[in-house]
Structure 1
Amino acid sequence: MRLAGIHHVTAITADAPGNRRFYTGLLGMRLVKKTVNQDDVRAYHLFYADGIGAPGTDLTFFDWPVGPRVPGSHDLVRTGLRVAGSDALAWWQDRFARAGVAHGPVEERDGRAV
């Protein structure tokens, strides 16, 4: 079997309505599915993807109440999404600034602008 990349990434949100507003309203992703967690039916499972639901574009969230992040707790707190290039990064930087979303400057990591 040949693996071609990541199928999807799953994270946790403590605010499903706010999560949906951010990913669909600000980022323009499509909510392709909303279901419940099969292991805990009290929690939503939200699936976002690109406009056509292409494989490899899925980003999903379980809706569980979680406390504030504690530095050093070995959790992941950043998610990166690929864009078309430097012009797109500048566009997103401006969009985030206008929306009041905290973000850092465009910088280079591992030879790529991020």
Structure 2
Amino acid sequence: MASDVPTLAYKVLTADQMTALEAEGSFAGAPVDVADGYVHLSTADQLTETVDKHFAGQSDLHVAAVDLDALGDAVKWEESRGGALFPHLYAALPLDAVVAYGPLERGDDGKVRLPVAG
């Protein structure tokens, strides 16, 4: 892939899914991930639209920043919404590839704030 490919992607999780990831050390995916055969991730630029489209009206959500380099060949960039390339993880998401996470918050502009490693 080109050098302008992001090295971080983001996974939106419910509170229960975040708790499971922390407790079990990996996350096999939400029901939609399991059905599609991969864990859906979004780039920073795609994250707010993903939340607005797929998590509208839900509360107590969390965002995990994922180091794509740590996942190696399990990540495939594939066309999705509007022909845009999205990172899809063809494996369980390991906690050790999560570099930051926290509750989903929005800035004054309405965009989802990215979790920052502490």
Bin for the TM-score computed over the shorter chain: under 0.3
More helix by proportion, 1 or 2?
2
TM-score (norm 1): 0.24
TM-score (norm 2): 0.24
Larger radius of gyration: 1
